[in-house]
């Protein structure tokens, strides 16, 4: 069994250093060579988990495979791969190849993405995304864990045998309550992106736990995305966070707008986000205060953190500081 297949209880027994990972914003810097270099630096700093995002027309798995050949034991995670943009057998084959290069180090995060991307960019109709994701995960799990798929469902008909098995953890994205419930039923972890922690504790965690228990499964870990500014200039951090979020346009993505409203931060006209919402998504301060904040989050009910740098002045220096901070937890 892959040692990365851990329950929420398993994860909470680990030291903080094993529960906090670094995020590489692939959609901002789609450079595989730079990603690989960042993974090498993160491992040297003592970071135990490295996550990479996935842009609409980018290939995170290939970039992480390149990084795997230059590193030894840092864990690698995708957060997340859109399910609609590649066939589940293709996804399984890519994951299997990466596992060959880095045995037992991959955590495969998969999600539905968003209608403007799937329909607007790819021209693929996005119908019943949670149902689609459920069937997708079923196929990928059979392919990787059993080495054989014989599936005829609503969205896919698949009959294939893979050359070997790899019990790679399959994590799913979770924004709203039904997604947390589904993660509790079918996934090895729930990945949450740009969710206020108060929302996760009030809605996400209870839904995840209740669903897992209802389906007779151990509760999978919840991994929360946390933006972090290595700066004591709070106003500058807030400004930089707003610029990043608004550049990507989260306020205009329906799934996010609904989640923000559920969290108590309704989106304004033209996707406008309140100062209170922005502040809820980012932490900042001295190295000591950030470290303390991470530890507080890990005792609040969140199992793991995916930490993304919000740069204020000098990105490379601040990223190095953040790596060192995580490595010393």
Q: What is the DSSP letter of 156?
A: -
Per DSSP, the three-state class of 50 is strand
For position 36, what pLDDT does the model report? 93
Alpha-carbon distance of 254 to 209, in angstroms, equals 25
Q: Which residues pair with 107 in a beta bridge?
A: 77
Taking the CB of residue 304, how many other CB atoms lie within 10 A of it?
A: 25
CA end-to-end distance (rounded Å), the chain: 27
Token output for 60? 């995170």
Q: What is the DSSP letter of 13?
A: T
**Measured CA distances, 150 to 17, 77, 91 (Å):** 40, 27, 16
Where helices occur in the chain by DSSP H, the ranges are 8-12, 32-44, 60-68, 88-101, 115-118, 129-141, 177-186, 197-199, 205-214, 234-248, 254-262, 275-281, 287-300, 315-327
> Of 35-44, 181-190, 251-260, which gets the smallest average pLDDT?
251-260
Please provide the average confidence, as pLDDT, over all residues in the chain. 92
Q: Is the pLDDT of residue 254 over 50?
A: yes
pLDDT digits (tens, 9 = 90+) for 42-80: 999 999 999 998 877 778 899 999 999 999 999 999 998
Alpha-carbon distance of 106 to 252, in angstroms, equals 32
Alpha-carbon distance of 258 to 308, in angstroms, equals 23
Alpha-carbon distance of 187 to 182, in angstroms, equals 8
For position 263, what pLDDT does the model report? 93
Q: In degrees rounded to 5, what are phi and psi of residue 73?
A: -140, 0
Token output for 207? 């839904």
Q: Is the pLDDT of residue 168 over 80?
A: yes
> How large a percentage of the chain has pLDDT more than 90?
80
Alpha-carbon distance of 221 to 254, in angstroms, equals 26
Alpha-carbon distance of 52 to 288, in angstroms, equals 26
Alpha-carbon distance of 221 to 288, in angstroms, equals 26
How much is the average pLDDT of 239-258? 87
- Would strands 148-152 and 157-161 be described as parallel, antiparallel, or unpaired? antiparallel
For position 325, what pLDDT does the model report? 97
Q: In degrees rounded to 5, what are phi and psi of residue 231?
A: -160, 145
pTM listed for this prediction? 0.93
Q: In degrees rounded to 5, what are phi and psi of residue 161?
A: -120, 130
For position 54, what pLDDT does the model report? 81
**Measured CA distances, 200 to 42, 167, 215, 248, 329 (Å):** 27, 28, 21, 22, 23
Residue for token pair 């530890």: 295
Query: Bigger pLDDT: 113 or 46?
Result: 46
CATH 3.20.20.30 matches 8-327: yes
């Amino acid at each position: 069994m892959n040692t990365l297949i851990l329950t929420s209880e398993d994860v909470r027994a680990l030291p903080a250093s094993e529960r906090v990972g670094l995020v590489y914003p692939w959609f901002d810097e789609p450079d595989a060579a730079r990603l690989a270099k960042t993974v090498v630096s993160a491992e040297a700093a003592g970071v135990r988990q490295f996550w990479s995002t996935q842009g609409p027309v980018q290939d995170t798995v290939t970039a992480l495979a390149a990084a795997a050949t230059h590193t030894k034991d840092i864990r690698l995670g995708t957060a997340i791969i859109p399910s609609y943009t590649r066939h589940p057998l293709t996804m399984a084959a890519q994951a299997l190849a990466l596992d060959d290069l880095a045995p037992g180090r991959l955590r495969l995060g998969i999600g539905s993405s968003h209608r403007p991307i799937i329909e607007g960019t790819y021209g693929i109709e996005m119908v019943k995304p949670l149902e689609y994701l459920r069937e997708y995960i079923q196929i990928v799990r059979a392919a990787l864990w059993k080495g054989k798929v014989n599936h005829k469902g609503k969205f896919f008909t698949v009959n294939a045998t893979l050359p070997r098995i790899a019990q790679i953890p399959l994590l799913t994205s979770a924004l709203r309550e039904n997604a947390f419930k589904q993660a509790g039923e079918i996934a090895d972890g729930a990945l949450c992106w740009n969710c206020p922690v108060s929302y996760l504790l009030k809605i996400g965690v209870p839904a995840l736990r209740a669903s897992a228990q209802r389906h007779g499964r151990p509760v999978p870990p919840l991994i929360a995305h946390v933006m972090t500014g290595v700066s004591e200039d709070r106003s500058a951090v807030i400004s930089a966070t707003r610029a990043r979020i608004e550049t990507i346009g989260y306020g205009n993505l329906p799934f996010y707008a609904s989640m923000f409203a559920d969290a108590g931060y309704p989106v304004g006209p033209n996707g406008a986000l309140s100062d209170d919402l922005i502040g809820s998504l980012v932490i900042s301060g001295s190295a000591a205060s950030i470290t303390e904040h991470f530890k507080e989050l890990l005792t609040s009910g969140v199992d793991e953190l995916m930490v993304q740098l919000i740069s204020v002045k000098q990105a490379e220096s601040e990223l190095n500081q953040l790596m060192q901070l995580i490595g010393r937890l």
